[in-house]
Amino acid sequence: MASTQSERRIKIGVLGASGYTGAETLRLAARHPNIEIAALTADRRAGEPIASVFPHLGGLDLPTLTKLDAVAWDTLEAVFCCLPHATTQEVVAGLPAHLKVIDLSADFRLRDTATYAEWYGHEHLAPHLQDSAVYGLTEWARDALADTRLAACPGCYPTGALLPLLPLLRDGLIDPDDIIIDSKSGVTGAGRAPKEAMLFGEVSEGVNAYGIAHHRHTPEMEQELSVAADAPIKISFTPHLLPMNRGILSTIYVKMANGGGSTELRQSLLKAYADAPFVRVVPQGQAPATRHVRGSNHCLIGVFDDRVAGRALVISAIDNLVKGSSGQAIQNFNLMFGLPETAGLEQEPLFP
């Protein structure tokens, strides 16, 4: 990395800066050595300083929030899209071609636009862009990211499920027809829009499953798992809402494909992520915990033999707002601009 490159400042815009992924992108981008935050949008809060939307960022010298159409696109090199699902396709389609786009929404994650229409309930609004979009699970798309203009950052649940499963499927170690993913998530994945179900009084001191058998992150997972297995895969995926802000723990139940056990699974994972700065296979016997990744871009993975013969468990922990969203977006940005993968992401987890 030449000194000139390491000192380069890339002007970015954050579109949809008033939600949680917006806030988290700002938190990370503000301290990124190669980023200058030059534009912030939030249609309903246009005209306000970021401090009135996010008092915790009030000490930063950031641009005032504007409407989308007030951005001087030609001054920017890249945009992070933190807009709601289903609004991003049109926005991205309208952006000047010189801009690199890191999209945190679901709008460009599904390669098959028919599948998109089926799960999201409307036609894809920018199908001509879909082909050039790279599904940005960083560790599995480094080369493609270096070449793309448009990174579709994975959903939080897919990130936590795919990182442990892709190597195992690729290496043929597990039965592709018997994968059960039981995920436990904090509330921030649901965003900042006021909904009764997300009130403190409704969430605290309790747990429930939701989106059973029809959560929209399912096709994303199946898309990538099918590539790794080289065969169509259907999974059983059940998300749960927990009384915590951040974190996704995915407990994944698998059947061994041809003998073997946790030792073989561990080997596969260690090899797959030997050079991955943010993915760590925890020591044998340790169980990953979301509190050990809070605020960081880390993904922890643990592997266990089940007591039922031929079965094993793989457990992963991520912070849904970092590796599951804004952190992975920064990581993808780094690769898209030829920066070190870890730039701006080197904070340790915050515990307790």
Binders of its own copies among 95-134, rule CB under 8 A?
Answer: none
- Is residue 289 close enough to count as binding its own copies by CB under 8 A? yes
Interface segment toward its own copies; rule CB under 8 A; list 27-35, 116-124, 163-171, 329-337: 27-35
- Is residue 346 close enough to count as binding its own copies by CB under 8 A? yes
- Is residue 30 close enough to count as binding its own copies by CB under 8 A? yes
Helix (H) or strand (E) holding 77: none
Count of residues that interact with its own copies, criterion CB under 8 A: 88
- Is residue 208 close enough to count as binding its own copies by CB under 8 A? yes
Q: Shortest gap between Cβ of 302 and its own copies (angstroms)?
A: 8
DSSP helix/strand/coil, 39: strand
Q: How far is CA 276 from the centre of its chain?
A: 16
Q: Which of 342, 348, 173 is nearest to 272 (CA)?
A: 173
- Is residue 313 close enough to count as binding its own copies by CB under 8 A? yes
Q: Shortest gap between Cβ of 74 and its own copies (angstroms)?
A: 29
Q: Which of 345, 348, 349, 323 is nearest to 334 (CA)?
A: 345
Is residue 156 annotated as part of the catalytic site, yes or no?
A: yes
Q: Between 240 and 269, how does the x/- string for binding to its own copies read (CB under 8 A)?
A: x-xxxxxx-x-x-x----------------
Nearer to its own copies, 103 or 222 (CB): 222
Eight-state DSSP code of residue 67: -
Q: Shortest gap between Cβ of 66 and its own copies (angstroms)?
A: 20
- Is residue 194 close enough to count as binding its own copies by CB under 8 A? yes
Interface segment toward its own copies; rule CB under 8 A; list 92-100, 112-120, 266-274, 340-348: 340-348
Nearer to its own copies, 55 or 96 (CB): 55
CA–CA gap between residue 293 and residue 197 (Å, rounded)? 26
Pair 29, 14: CB distance under 8 Å? yes
Q: Which of 200, 160, 195 is nearest to 315 (CA)?
A: 160
Residues 6+ apart with CB under 8 A from 128: 93
- Is residue 226 close enough to count as binding its own copies by CB under 8 A? no
Catalytic: which of 81, 153, 156, 299?
A: 156
Eight-state DSSP code of residue 16: S
Q: Shortest gap between Cβ of 101 and its own copies (angstroms)?
A: 24
Q: Shortest gap between Cβ of 86 and its own copies (angstroms)?
A: 21
- Is residue 182 close enough to count as binding its own copies by CB under 8 A? yes
* DSSP line for 154-194: PPHHHHHHHHHHHHHHHTT-B-TT--EEEEEE-GGGG-SS-
- Is residue 20 close enough to count as binding its own copies by CB under 8 A? yes
Q: Shortest gap between Cβ of 281 and its own copies (angstroms)?
A: 11
DSSP helix/strand/coil, 305: strand
- Distance between first and last Cα of the chain: 35
One of 6, 236, 258, 263 touching its own copies (CB under 8 A): 236
* Paired strand residues for 12: 37, 78
> Which 38-97 positions form the footprint of its own copies (CB under 8 A)?
51, 54-60
Interface segment toward its own copies; rule CB under 8 A; list 36-44, 134-142, 163-171, 207-215: 207-215
331 torsion bin: left (phi>0), alpha (psi -120 to 50), beta (else): alpha
Pair 301, 278: CB distance under 8 Å? no
Q: Beta strand pairing status for 180-185 and 150-152?
A: unpaired
- Is residue 306 close enough to count as binding its own copies by CB under 8 A? yes
- Is residue 328 close enough to count as binding its own copies by CB under 8 A? no
- Is residue 295 close enough to count as binding its own copies by CB under 8 A? yes
Pair 35, 60: CB distance under 8 Å? no
Nearer to its own copies, 226 or 245 (CB): 245
Return the active site residues. 156
